[in-house]
Amino acid sequence: MTHKVVLTVDLDRDYPIESMGKMSAHSAVSQDTDLDPEIRGTMAGTSLVLDYLSKLKIPCIFFIEASVLKKMGETELVERLLPYEIGSHGVSHEDFTGELSGYIPTSDEITTTLKTSIQIISKFLKTPRGFRAPFLNVDSRVMKRVENLFEYDSSVTIKQIQSYSNVSIDKEFDWINIPELFLSTTNDKRDKPISGYLWQLFEGSRTEEDYLFMLDRCFRINKLTYTTLAFHPWHLSINTKERRYLTKQEVHNNFRKLYNLLDKVQSSFEFVGVEDILSL
Ligand SMILES: [Zn+2]
């Protein structure tokens, strides 16, 4: 049996962090505003990633922050996103549960924001079918609105469902009433938690071998029927600890790490699209 891996990209502003007391986020590396996000790292990273994906014909889901897409406007970069599966990642990277910002939005604010994200993404690209919550912050109240507006969700990690062993991916969570593309989490060689987000690959605290081990373990030990990998295009260009843009050489090194990993994943596993996993 080939093991299926879904590659996902959170296409958001350059290193978004929560704004205290408000729903929308801002960039940690620049002075930007809700509707005028800083995207130079995202633009550069997305271009590199799209070159690579199209060359190797790897399917991918882009969960897009609508204000980022609006700022990109009618550019060639946006056109190159058209062949891919598209989801929403909010308008201005909202913290929908208020867990980080301390601001708990009303149900109307949640609905209006989700609808606005759909309008903007539909106008500049195409109708988003899925949703991934910024900061992965969802609860039953947010999910209720999400399930009315989207065909599937991808904001919930395996870790949130069960402990690490013998997870059945088909097990339904009683507060999720639409198909869920779960984000993979498991333990590493030293039995420490690891997720399919590639933050630590770019930050240098994990290697490609750690992620290959993680995928293998998800299938072999956790018996998952698929796994997910996720990353942010801006992460190729930004060091989050030092909150600075990287040099050309450093960006090149990060891109090399990414494609070395994806090349190896492609030779041992099979990259598939969302419709191979969920019945939509
Ligand atoms: Zn995000």
pLDDT of residue 232: 98
| The token pair that represents 29 in the structure block | 């590396």
Residue 274 is given by DSSP the state G
131 touches 87 (CB < 8 A): yes
pLDDT of residue 172: 52
Look up the domain containing 134 and give its range.
4-276
Query: What is the Cα Rg of the chain in Å?
Result: 18
Spacing, Cα 92 to ligand 1 middle (Å): 10
| The token pair that represents 215 in the structure block | 């995928």
3-state class (DSSP) for residue 104 = coil
Q: Look up the CATH number of the domain holding residue 76.
A: 3.20.20.370
- Taking the whole predicted model, whether its pTM rises above 0.85 is answered as yes
pLDDT of residue 157: 84
pLDDT of residue 164: 38
Mean pLDDT by 10 residues, the chain (280 residues): 92 98 98 96 97 95 98 94 98 97 98 98 98 95 96 88 49 76 92 94 96 94 91 97 96 96 96 94
CA-closest candidate to residue 60, choices 211, 246, 262, 220: 262
Q: How many domains does the chain have?
A: 1
Spacing, Cα 133 to ligand 1 middle (Å): 7
Spacing, Cα 134 to ligand 1 middle (Å): 4
Sign of CA dihedral 200, 204, 209, 210: negative
120 touches 69 (CB < 8 A): yes
| CA pair distance 185, 214, nearest whole angstrom | 8
Element (H, E) at 85: strand 85-88
Spacing, Cα 12 to ligand 1 middle (Å): 5
